[in-house]
Structure 1
Amino acid sequence: MNRRHALKMFGTAALGAALPVAARQRVFAQPASGPFTLAPIGYAYEALEPHIDAQTMTIHHQRHHGAYVSNLNALAGQYPALKPDAIETVLRNLQAAPDAVRTGIRNNLGGHWNHVHFWDIMTPGGAKEPGTELATAINGAFGDFGQFRQRLNAAAGGRFGSGWAWLVVDKDRKLAVVSTANQDNPLMDGANGVVLGVDVWEHAYYLKYQNRRADYVTAWWNTVNWTKAGANYQRAMT
């Protein structure tokens, strides 16, 4: 998303910011009807400030995530296996989708899954550092937390154009840092599970950080809910 696009959408975000906190997540149009819905993120849009601003969260959730959901509802009519209770199965078996809809499913189902994960991993109120089990695994895989953080920062900063950086449990049940382009995610490449991920599309940070992706990623670490990350790790290891 370029600067002109961001400014064009500013008015909608400003409207949401003027409302009481309890109402802010309810003032958005649901995507086109179908099996997929755009759920609230679970906390107020301004809850991650000063690290991620309310205007960015509003636009990111309502417009960008909402667009993926609308597109999925259109695609669901063309591919019956595309259902809310089969998201990960479809992502892990994209080759089973017909050629005519495969790219659309890849982009939009990937975008939907990625954003559900992203909102969840930033839920306020969790642990501020990894629990014992995850911390031990991080130290074993990367040497220590500092080296792990450097690896993830490098993956986020080194992703050319739009994409994501992830901490995953790979198919051998080992922790790894990976990066994916666009709205791809590690499940498409056979990862056992995702522990956490950071969105490095420009629309995730441009209003506050402009082209300073490194500053955004540095600030994003302050939003990570390590209780959620630990639960993701345990699920991926089962």
Structure 2
Amino acid sequence: MALRALAARKSLAGSGFQRILGARGLQTFSLPDLPYDYGALEPAISGEIMQLHHQKHHQAYITNYNKDLEQLDAAIAKGDASAVVKLQSAIKFNGGGHVNHSIFWNNLSPVNEVGGEPPHSALGWAIDQSFGSFDALITKMNAEGAGLQGSGWVWLALDKELKKVVVETTANQDPLVTKGASLVPLLGIDVWEHAYYLQYKNVRPDYLKNIWKVINWKYACQEYEKESA
């Protein structure tokens, strides 16, 4: 149930999702539009990867998440506690897939717009304080992302309790909040194979090296300033 409430929060799921109310007032979700064309991130990320990633993978998480919510709604209505418990894993996986990807699309931007421009102001200072330098942050995130076994995500987050920025990883489609309630995602990099394999094959470090060319630090700075205010 916690993830259902989480995914409904615009601050985590991004500004692209739409809320639809059914006959029973059940909340469902639809695929957010990308703020750029599929080919706009080339050569760092190919248009083919972006289209498949968005239209197929993200859409699948949303479709399955909506089904999970329907089943959960029915189980609650019946008072079937066993069914509610069984659905939690699927809800976390598919709901997390929607939440994570909605953040990810906003974390990217074409090079000729703001992609790749390093952070300034408050977030830039916070990165220097936590990691020593911007380059040190990139080195750490690349190492964490390359070393993550299997599928998952590497995050730059604001820890509101510690009042500092930190690097975290999550497995599969676990949203960052599963690592701590005080963590707010600023930047997430998808290290599932579907995010890079068609272009980079099994060389995940090359994907991690090149994705920084299209990172939208403007978005990350805005999120940091909003959440740290």
TM range (shorter): 0.7 to 0.9
Is this contact kept in 2: 1:152–1:166, CA < 8 A? yes
Confirm whether residue 149 of structure 1 aligns to residue 142 of structure 2: no
Post-superposition CA distance 1:46-82 (Å, at most 9, x none): 00000000000011111100000001111121335xx
Q: Which of 220, 223, 227 is matched with 1:229 structurally?
A: 220
Q: 2:207 aligns to what SS in structure 1?
A: helix
Q: In the aligned structure 2, how far is the partner of 1:98 from the partner of 1:143?
A: 46
Q: What TM-score does the superposition give when structure 1 sets the normalisation length?
A: 0.76
TM-score (structure 2 length as normaliser): 0.79
Output the amino acid matched with 2:207. Answer: Y
The range that moved more, 165-174 or 215-224, is 165-174
Amino acid at match of 1:176: V
Of the three residues 87, 96, 116, the one matched with 1:110 is 96
Equivalent position amino acid for 1:43 in 2 = Y
Q: Distance in 2 between matches of 1:157 and 1:235?
A: 30
Aligned residue number for residue 154 of structure 2? 165
Q: Which protein is richer in strand relative to its size?
A: 2
Q: Distance in 2 between matches of 1:150 and 1:191?
A: 24
Output the CA distance in 1 between the equivalents of 2:218 and 2:48.
26
Equivalence for 1:215: 206
Contact 1:166 1:198 in 2 (8 A): yes
Residue 207 of structure 1 aligns with an amino acid whose one-letter code is L
Residue of structure 2 equivalent to 1:98: 84
String of CA shifts for 1:77-110, please: whole Å, max 9, x gaps.
1335xxxxxxxxxxxxxxxx93121101110111
Q: Could you say what secondary structure the match of 1:197 adopts?
A: strand
Q: How far apart, CA to CA, are the structure 2 residues paired with 1:236 and 1:188?
A: 18
Contact 1:36 1:69 in 2 (8 A): yes
Q: Distance in 1 between matches of 2:217 and 2:99?
A: 19
**Conserved 8 A contact 2:96-2:175:** yes
Distance 2:148 2:37 in 1: 29
SS of aligned partner of 2:211: helix
Are 1:156 and 1:217, in contact at CA under 8 Å, matched by a contact in 2?
A: yes
**Structure 2 regions of 5+ residues with no counterpart?**
1-21, 74-82
Closer/same/farther in 2, CA of residues 191 and 159 from structure 1, 3 Å limit: farther
Q: Residue type matched to 1:120 in 2?
A: N
Corresponding residue number in structure 2 for 1:89: none
| Corresponding position of 2:169 | 179
**Equivalent residue number for residue 6 of structure 2:** none
Q: Does 1:73 align with 2:72?
A: no
State the distance in 2 between where 1:191 and 1:200 align: 23
Pair 1:37 & 2:30 matched? yes
Q: Secondary structure at 2:118's aligned position in 1?
A: coil
Task: After TM superposition, give the deviation of residue 192 of structure 1 in Å.
Answer: 3.1
- RMSD of Structure 2 on Structure 1 (CA): 1.7
**1:130 and 1:98 mapped to 2: Cα distance?**
43
CA distance in 1, matches of 2:227, 2:176: 12
Q: For each residue in 1:192-225, what CA deviation from the matched residue of structure 2 results, as whole angstroms up to 9, or x when unmatched?
A: 3111010000000000000010000000000111
